[in-house]
Amino acid sequence: MKSSIGINNIVQFILFVALQILLMDNLVLYSTGFCYIYVAFLLFLPININRVLLLFLGFLVGFTVDVFYDTMGIHAAASVLLAFLRPHLLNLLTPRDGYDISDSVNIHVMGKGWFLTYTSTLILVHHAAVFFLERISFDDALFTLLKIVVSALFTGVVILILQLLFFSPKRTSRV
């Protein structure tokens, strides 16, 4: 099981952040569906990555997006929360015989059920944090909830498409 970040993670960081800023910023469905594709970088990191490093990476990617979105701290806070919860969720989702050496976050390797539970939970938490921090208050909570659900669906579908298109069914992870 790989535990350090490789060159493909760095490439993913740049790709996902660029995708977020240059494309997804302009792609909003009916003012409710936002796609925060940059979380895919955090989701696709090696399973056994150091928790502290993961937290700092979460802060880094959230902060980078914040700088471009002019939303100081909102995406950083949500990403750090995601980074903190990720190892715990991975523990909960451990397969019967533990994680394998060659396991990575890959729909072909880990199976559909595992992958969907993993991504949908973390994306929901992240999006809930983003939209409630943006509003600060709980008024208009119904609209915020709608935004969270629609956006999480949107991001989830895009991540699923990325997985099916670019991740090989072989038991090694590639970009």
152 near another protein, judged by CB under 8 A = no
Residues contacting 91, CB < 8 A, separation 6+: none
Choose the binding region for another protein from 6-14, 41-49, 112-120, 127-135 (rule: CB under 8 A): 127-135
The answer to whether the CB of 8 falls within 8 A of the CB of 174 is: yes
If one asks whether residue 114 binds another protein (CB under 8 A), the answer comes out as no
Q: Does 77 bind another protein (CB under 8 A)?
A: yes
Judged by beta carbon, residue 56 or residue 166, the one nearer another protein is: 56
Residue 134 touches another protein, criterion: CB under 8 A: yes
Residue 64, token pair as written in the block? 């980078």
E strands present in 66-145:
none
The site map against another protein for 24-43 (x = CB under 8 A) is: -xx-x--x--x---------
Distance of alpha carbon 71 from alpha carbon 53, whole angstroms: 24
Residues present in the chain in total: 175
Q: If 0-12 CB within 10 Å is exposed, 13-18 middle and 19+ buried, where does residue 117 land?
A: middle
Which residue's structure tokens are 């594709």?
37
**125 scored as a contact of another protein (CB under 8 A):** no
Binding region for another protein (CB under 8 A): 21-22, 25-26, 28, 31, 34, 51-52, 55-56, 58-59, 62-63, 66-74, 76-77, 80-81, 83-84, 87, 133-135, 140, 143
